[in-house]
Amino acid sequence: MEIIEEDDEEIKQLMLRISNKEITLCDSCDAFFDYIPQKMTCDECKKKKQREYQQLPEVKARVRKYHQRPEVQARVREYYQRPEVKAKMREYRQRKKKLREEE
């Protein structure tokens, strides 16, 4: 009997926080998260939905077509020719090589 009363109190506290717009309920997974106006889903559900969207064949084709444009390829090539980017990549490769040697 005490457990039910405690649960009722917890539910009342949650409902009070929802009505005070401190927290809200996710539409897809029923998890609570901080209230943000016009936000209907939690971050995890939003990321999941975005990942699913990116796997659609139409979206993959559109992204592939964009990256095959000559001006985009030139911009990427130019980025990788920058000295600071080359130094960063060199450091990354050295760290990766050192980790592989340690294993």
Q: In angstroms, rounded to a whole number, what is the distance separating the alpha carbons of residues 39 and 16? A: 19
| pLDDT tops 80 at residue 7 | no
| pLDDT tops 70 at residue 28 | yes
More confidently predicted of 57 and 12: 57
* pTM over the 0.75 mark: no
pLDDT tens digits for range 58-103: 999 999 999 999 999 999 999 999 999 999 999 999 999 999 998 7
Average pLDDT over residues 22-35: 90
| Percentage, residues of the chain above pLDDT 90 | 68
